Amino acid sequence: MKLIGYGIALALIVYVLMNLSKEETPQDAIPEGYKRSMEKAEQVEKTLQDAAQKQLEELDSKGQ
């Protein structure tokens, strides 16, 4: 009888935890601050790539 009570209690705990984990917002949602930081980082990366490409083109033109 005691074992049945433990089983029911365990099932109830699992049920409650499963329902609590189902939130309205997804767990992998990226906060707005992080999104802005990532956008800025992408802009910086593009700027650096453009500068590197420009330097390579200048070196190629000097070498010819």
Domain residue ranges of the chain, discontinuous segments joined by +? 2-63
CA distance 15 to 22: 11
Which residue carries 């033109």 as its tokens? 61
Helices (H), the chain: 2-21, 32-63
Residue of 10, 39, 63, 5 lying closest to 47 (CA atoms)? 39
Q: What is the mean pLDDT of residues 38-56?
A: 93
Digit-coded pLDDT (tens) for 20-44: 666 655 656 778 888 899 999 999 9
Report field, pTM of the whole predicted structure over 0.85 = no
Residue of 33, 35, 32, 54 lying closest to 43 (CA atoms)? 35
pLDDT for res 1: 77
pLDDT for res 17: 81
